[in-house]
Structure 1
């Protein structure tokens, strides 16, 4: 959608928590579209060391997976442009290292001042790399703008957390929604959501609390910017996640190791089974 007013966006999408692709959230005349490219990034930050992350499927009991290696930023960019790879960057924010780059992005702020312009995040990934199905820990609204390459993103509302087998005290699902095992996780038969493809210049609005599974269709990079949660319930969830839940989970994991993870998996399956029964009762 293009040329939506702030009033219409807030009323039709943000308040009812409905995703949408915006075609002009970042102004097309922004210098980033003509100035940014891999050679430019190598020139200004190529010598920085970066942690490289791979598949997250093997680290289901952690908020974030451990890095699988390290290289210079320049070497990583050479890697993703030479061949498909599941390797991506996480928590390497070029916009923090080179804050002057923030001036290269001009926003058409349809949120009427709610977005936090001074706190953008940048993400890089190779063709085929994924980010597991998760909700953002702070429960913010998120606007993801693609600058290079193509991303495919699957979205599911918060209300489907149980059917998605949300891992208790964590913020991701234990299921693989791309290759679902319906026998092991029958709740996946009942989920519904959206599938979005974003290309350079397009921005996907992800409402607070919505699940998102991200796949890089090609190598590329994007910038996300946040807006604080709208309701007091969402704000409380975000505060609780950041201040209480994640620290409690880390403590219990350190104390009980695999037993704690096994307990959470059993609890996720029990909650999913109850959600399945509710779904079946609605269909009668």
Structure 2
């Protein structure tokens, strides 16, 4: 099953047709104004950040090594995956290259100042995350995103394949228990043992290939993983708004109960209070 592609749609039409109806889609021109589309080449990263030390899977590399390995990557020997990097904390000077914020990603409740404590180096809530990988490298597991919000992935270079499953298929995807309830127990989504996971045969897979300049939108709760079809640079962001807040709140409550124990009620009081402030601000604008 393939995903619909749209172009020259207004942000308002997008919200009415896809966000409100909770339908995933590929947008072909949501980031056409970004400098990063032309600027963030492999050469750019090597020239400006090649000496930067990064740690991937407990091993230290220079960023130049990661870029070069990714350019030479192939299916049988994929390069290390430089992923989930909070741009505002690791590369704050590059925010101007992906500004202004795409109107398709607005409004985003997480951008309000009340939620500043959630936009740290530890949490990605409402932050852009950077992903650089090479051909054959996959995201390590099937999941749906923390914090249970809608997701946008913007492709800046190369091609990436996204594999998605609807929230309706959750019962076929063997979610883990406890704090990792948003992660599937299936270790390799491309080679699923039906002896171990017989219900998986009922799941309906959606496949989308992102090309440079394209963005994929999928609503909260959509299971997904990714695989690089070439050297690839992309960024992702989670968006909370009036269409998904109840889902976000339910997700955070479940996650907080699993991880914060006695502090869970305080955290949820903060989340609920913050949402009221944001909602009131938007209603008066």
TM-score range, shorter chain: 0.7 to 0.9
CA distance in 2, matches of 1:30, 1:198: 17
Number of the residue aligned with 2:116: none
Alpha-carbon shift at residue 182 of structure 1 (Å): 1.4
After superposition, the Cα gap between the structure-2 partners of 1:93 and 1:38, relative to the gap in structure 1 and judged at 3 Å, is farther
> Unaligned regions of 5+ residues in structure 1, if any?
53-66, 249-284
> Unaligned regions of 5+ residues in structure 2, if any?
1-5, 112-125, 262-285
CA distance in 2, matches of 1:185, 1:48: 42
State which drifts further: 175-184 or 239-248: 239-248
Instruction: Say if 2:3 is the partner of 1:7.
Output: no
Number of the residue aligned with 1:40: 44
Instruction: Say if 2:258 is the partner of 1:245.
Output: yes
Alpha-carbon shift at residue 30 of structure 1 (Å): 2.2
Alpha-carbon shift at residue 163 of structure 1 (Å): 0.7
Alpha-carbon shift at residue 222 of structure 1 (Å): 0.2
Alpha-carbon shift at residue 95 of structure 1 (Å): 4.7
Instruction: Say if 2:153 is the partner of 1:139.
Output: no
Alpha-carbon shift at residue 111 of structure 1 (Å): 4.6
CA distance in 2, matches of 1:83, 1:191: 31
Q: Aligned match of 2:162 in 150, 153, 157?
A: 153
Instruction: Say if 2:171 is the partner of 1:162.
Output: yes
CA distance in 2, matches of 1:95, 1:47: 19
CA distance in 2, matches of 1:115, 1:47: 36
Number of the residue aligned with 2:234: 222
Alpha-carbon shift at residue 212 of structure 1 (Å): 0.3
Number of the residue aligned with 1:114: 108
CA distance in 2, matches of 1:232, 1:200: 30
What's the TM-score once normalised by structure 1's chain length?
A: 0.75
> Does the CA-based 8 Å contact 1:115-1:225 persist in structure 2?
no
CA distance in 2, matches of 1:4, 1:101: 27
After superposition, the Cα gap between the structure-2 partners of 1:116 and 1:204, relative to the gap in structure 1 and judged at 3 Å, is farther
CA distance in 1, matches of 2:199, 2:192: 10
| 1:61-72 aligned within 5 A | 67-72=57-62
Number of the residue aligned with 2:225: 213
> Does the CA-based 8 Å contact 1:25-1:110 persist in structure 2?
yes
What's the TM-score once normalised by structure 2's chain length?
A: 0.75
Count of residues in Structure 1 that have an aligned counterpart in Structure 2 = 233
> Secondary structure, in 3 states, of the residue corresponding to 2:104?
coil
Alpha-carbon shift at residue 96 of structure 1 (Å): 2.8
**What do residues 135-172 of structure 1 show as CA deviations (whole Å, max 9, x unaligned)?**
11201111101111111111111221121011112121
CA distance in 2, matches of 1:182, 1:22: 34
Number of the residue aligned with 1:129: 137
Q: Aligned match of 2:246 in 209, 227, 233?
A: 233
Alpha-carbon shift at residue 83 of structure 1 (Å): 3.0
CA distance in 1, matches of 2:88, 2:106: 23
CA distance in 2, matches of 1:206, 1:115: 17
CA distance in 2, matches of 1:237, 1:110: 24
> Does the CA-based 8 Å contact 2:51-2:62 persist in structure 1?
yes
> Does the CA-based 8 Å contact 2:72-2:134 persist in structure 1?
no
After superposition, the Cα gap between the structure-2 partners of 1:94 and 1:113, relative to the gap in structure 1 and judged at 3 Å, is closer
Number of the residue aligned with 1:62: none
Q: Aligned match of 1:74 in 64, 71, 78?
A: 64
CA distance in 2, matches of 1:185, 1:154: 18
Alpha-carbon shift at residue 80 of structure 1 (Å): 1.0
CA distance in 2, matches of 1:234, 1:208: 7
> Does the CA-based 8 Å contact 2:128-2:236 persist in structure 1?
yes
